[in-house]
Amino acid sequence: DLASKDEYPALGEEDKLWVRIRQEARWDSVKEPVLASYLYSSILSHGSLERALAFHLGNKLSSSTLLSTQLFSLIIDTFMEDDGIRRAVREDIKAVKGRDPACNSYSHCLLNFKGFLACQTHRVAHRLWNQGRQSLALALQSRVSEVFHVDIHPAAKIGSGILFDHATGLVVGETAIIGNNVSILHHVTLGGTGALGGDRHPKIGDGVLIGAGAIILGNVKIGEGAKIGAGSLVLINVPPRTMAVGNPAHLVGGKDSPAQLK
């Protein structure tokens, strides 16, 4: 059981984050009547954060041939079977609010951040993939790519406390691994180098920050706390707490004595 009292409410406990999100939604619906019906159907009418998120994703990812009610059921069932996903949803919301100065409330993240919404759908698709439900996982990947412009292979492993900022154009390959508390800006690629299969995508350590437009290719290791400069092309391992910049990327301070980040 991954749930802890600090991070995720046990049955019967108060869910402080959800209480807070509802307060924000009530406040906004009083201040802004145009949004009242939207906030009611998206947040206030639901009994839990999981149900609100599943409803919101079901609506956004539905199409004329994939019904929102089917998607809602699929997503809420997956959430309810997996404590780890429910905890990660909460850690991601806190990460977005905490790390993005343009995020002014938890409900803003829940409703409006396509990087957050794409990441949570990936968590569902990843679980389905691991259960052998590949065609369904791939259908979700495809809808996320169409609706949120984020293309994450369902096999990719992603930790918690994730910020996908702006998110447009993010591509994450099949054998990529992303650790905890990672921040990735838009237009970032964690891609392959043309190998025909096997373990061919980057491994991103805990606490890494990857700037806008960075392209990281191949089975390289980005150590914990490293920073990848915007617009970099990274084809090498990057040690922990160092910074790589440029096209092709080099370590700031040089390969033999890279400058240590605090």
Looking at the Cβ atoms of 18 and 72, the one nearer to a copy of itself is 72
Q: Do 90 and 116 touch, CB atoms closer than 8 A?
A: no
Nearest to 113 by CA among 78, 163, 62: 163
Q: Do 109 and 97 touch, CB atoms closer than 8 A?
A: yes
Q: Do 129 and 137 touch, CB atoms closer than 8 A?
A: yes
Report how far Cα 154 is from the mean position of its chain's Cα atoms. 12
Looking at the Cβ atoms of 66 and 80, the one nearer to a copy of itself is 66
The residues, ordered by sequence, that sit 6+ positions from 189 with a Cβ below 8 Å of its Cβ are 170, 171, 214, 215, 216, 217
CB of 174 to a copy of itself, least distance (A): 5
Q: Does 187 bind a copy of itself (CB under 8 A)?
A: yes
Looking at the Cβ atoms of 108 and 127, the one nearer to a copy of itself is 108
CB of 10 to a copy of itself, least distance (A): 30
From the CB of residue 174, how many other CB atoms can be counted at a distance below 10 Å?
16
Interface positions, 131-160, toward a copy of itself (CB under 8 A): 133-136, 138-139, 141-142, 145-149, 151, 153
CB of 13 to a copy of itself, least distance (A): 29
Q: Does 254 bind a copy of itself (CB under 8 A)?
A: no
Which H or E run contains 216?
A: strand 215-217
Nearest to 163 by CA among 182, 141, 180, 144: 182
x/- mask, a copy of itself, residues 23-62, rule CB under 8 A, reads: -----x--xx-xx-xx--xx----------------xx-x
Identify which range of 11-19, 86-94, 181-189, 252-260 contacts a copy of itself by CB under 8 A.
181-189
Identify which range of 9-17, 80-88, 89-97, 108-116 contacts a copy of itself by CB under 8 A.
108-116
Which H or E run contains 201?
A: none
Looking at the Cβ atoms of 9 and 122, the one nearer to a copy of itself is 122
Size of the site for a copy of itself (CB under 8 A): 72
Q: Which residue has the tokens 């839990």?
A: 48
Out of 64, 256, 257, 262, point to the residue binding a copy of itself (CB under 8 A): 64
Interface positions, 190-249, toward a copy of itself (CB under 8 A): 191-192, 194-197, 200, 209, 212-213, 215, 217, 229-231, 233, 245-248
Looking at the Cβ atoms of 17 and 243, the one nearer to a copy of itself is 243
Looking at the Cβ atoms of 9 and 173, the one nearer to a copy of itself is 173
Q: What does the angle CA 206 – CA 146 – CA 32 come to, to the nearest 5 degrees?
A: 85
Looking at the Cβ atoms of 211 and 258, the one nearer to a copy of itself is 211
The residues, ordered by sequence, that sit 6+ positions from 106 with a Cβ below 8 Å of its Cβ are 17, 20, 21, 24, 93, 94, 97
